[in-house]
Structure 1
């Protein structure tokens, strides 16, 4: 999972990848640090075409604010540069996986 350090880097990844998952978290967010490897391990196997990146909101506050992220964790999933999915704070990784799967299925049909 790539760690994003600039808005330009994120914009480029949105343009270059058909599917991009962005995890907004923080070093002092226990939930963020717990789900980060779970998302990476599970989703990288199930969705090999899904690029995954991490943004540390404690370090990159401006990027997080530009994306409307004011609580942690937040997952945003972009397809073709457009945000399709957003999960905030208490969410189910299983439900997130199912949502991503639905969008991939629609894109491939």
Structure 2
């Protein structure tokens, strides 16, 4: 995952219209640390055209608050510049990927 550190950068990436996943995490968040490689692996295996990014919500509070992210980890997925899915805290990685497969396939065809 590529790190993002400004609101302008995040908005620029979303505005491309391409599928984007933004992972909001924290430096001292053990759940964030454990979940991140699982999400990355499953996205790369099943949904390889989704670009993945990470925002350290505890450092870049302006970005987190702009997207109404008040707990970590939180994952936002955008298709066609619109927020499609939001998941937080207790995430089933397998269910999360399954829920993205259909819109991903429709969008990428």
Write out per-residue CA displacement over residues 54-106 of structure 1, whole angstroms, 9 at most, x where no aligned residue: 00011101110110011111001000110000001112111110111021133
Q: In structure 1, what is the Cα distance between the partners aligned to 2:36 and 2:59?
A: 17
Deviations 1:11-32 (A, max 9, x none): 1111225100011010111110
Aligned length: 109
- Report the equivalent of 2:87: 87
Give the SS at the match of 2:15: helix
Matches within 5 A, 1:90-105: 90-105=90-105
Ranges in structure 2 where 5+ consecutive residues have no aligned partner: none
1:14-29 equivalent positions in 2, closer than 5 A: 14-29=14-29
RMSD: 1.3
Report if the CA contact (8 A) 1:17-1:51 is conserved.
no
Q: Residue 45 of structure 1 corresponds to which residue in structure 2?
A: 45
- Find out whether 1:73 has 2:73 as its counterpart: yes
TM-score by length of 1: 0.93
CA distance in 1, matches of 2:47, 2:17: 13
SS of residue paired to 1:97: helix
**TM-score scaled to structure 2, two decimals?**
0.93
